[in-house]
Every structure is written in C-alpha cells, then in structure tokens.
Amino acid sequence: MEQTFVMIKPDGVQRGLVGEIIGRFEKKGFTLKGLKLITVDRHFAEQHYADLSAKPFFNGLVEYIISGPVAAMVWEGKNVVTTGRKIIGATNPADSAPGTIRGDYAIDIGRNVIHGSDSVESGKKEIALWFPEGIAEWRSSLHSWIYE
Ligand code: IDP
Ligand code: MG
C-alpha cells in the first residue's frame, strides 16, 4: 500500500493544529503508520529540502523548519500521495481552496503549516530520512469498511 511523509511544521504545532490535521487524514480513511514530535537541526532540514537549495527562500525555509518541534508522520492508503496533497492544498495558501488545510489555516507561503511528499519516490526517500528506526507494522481493522 502507498505511503507518504507528512510533517506539521513548527507553526502548525505552535498553533495547536496537530489534532485537527491528524483528524482530517484519519477521517478520510488513511492509516497512521508513523508519528513523532521532533526538533530537527539545520543539517537535517537542509537534507530534507535539498532539492530547493538554490532557491532564494532556502535559508528562510530552513530557519522556519528548525524554529520549533514538528510533527512527523507516515500515512498509508490508496493514492495517499496525490490525495494527501489535495487535502493539504496548494503551496501558496492564497491559491489553496477553502476546505484544504492550507486554505483553512494559513495565509503566507512561508508559514503554510504542513508538508506532504510530492511523489511516491520522494515519499520513500523522506520516510527513510525521517524514520530511520522504521515505522509501525499494523493493519487497521477498518480496512474492509474503507476499501471494497
Ligand atoms: P510544497 O511544500 O507545496 O511541496 P515546495 O515548492 O516543495 O512546496 O516548497 C517547499 C516549501 O518551501 C513550501 O511548503 C513553503 O513552506 C516554502 N516555500 C516555497 N516557495 C516559497 C516562497 O516563494 N517563499 C517562501 N517560502 C516558500
Ligand atoms: Mg515540496
């Protein structure tokens, strides 16, 4: 089953949005396979965002991510990468539809509350980076109520 890496950024944790965000993924029917609150250092944040290292906002982005604890998660389910990105909304909250997480809870692109992997491949890389210890092995007993 497909997996994605989702991170509630420091602003989302500070603003008390962890429960709300987890609830949205849970209620959709996705399965929580990994979860931890962690403050990462500069080197780690630079690794996570390595693809963006040439961008003018890179340093500010790294400062933002290391500014406090983040809630790192692995979610599992059919099409969870693409559907997860839809639940999250567009990168710039100004372009995110109401009903999405960023559309409902964010205003500025540099304080957009949440990260979600953009492909199955980057999901695998990000899960390996953030959860080197591995993730939970379990299958929800709701499976047959969610999948036909
Ligand atoms: P994504 O998070 O929707 O996948 P990316 O393009 O991968 O968007 O950018 C990663 C993160 O970098 C964004 O979520 C946002 O926090 C930040 N970011 C992207 N573009 C800008 C910008 O123009 N100014 C400031 N921060 C930005
Ligand atoms: Mg991205």
pLDDT recorded at residue 47: 98
Provide ipTM, 2 decimals: 0.98
The answer to whether 116 touches 85, Cβ cutoff 8 Å, is: yes
In the residue annotation, 143 being an active-site residue is answered as: no
pLDDT recorded at residue 85: 98
pLDDT recorded at residue 108: 98
Q: What percent of the chain has pLDDT over 90?
A: 100
Task: Map residue 76 onto helix, strand or coil.
Answer: strand
For the stretch 116-128, pLDDT in tens is: 999 999 999 999 9
pLDDT recorded at residue 61: 98
Cβ(115) to ligand 1 under 6 A?
yes
CA–CA separation, 21 vs 37, rounded Å?
A: 14
- Protein residues with C-beta less than 5 angstroms from the ion ligand 2: 118
For residue 52 the two structure tokens come to 């963006």
pLDDT recorded at residue 126: 98
For residue 129 the two structure tokens come to 């980076």
For the stretch 28-61, pLDDT in tens is: 999 999 999 999 999 999 999 999 999 999 999 9
Cβ(118) to ligand 1 under 6 A?
yes
pLDDT recorded at residue 134: 96
Mean pLDDT for 4-19 is 98
Q: 30 among the known binding-site residues?
A: no
Distance 76 CA to ligand 1 centre (A): 23
Cβ(86) to ligand 1 under 6 A?
no
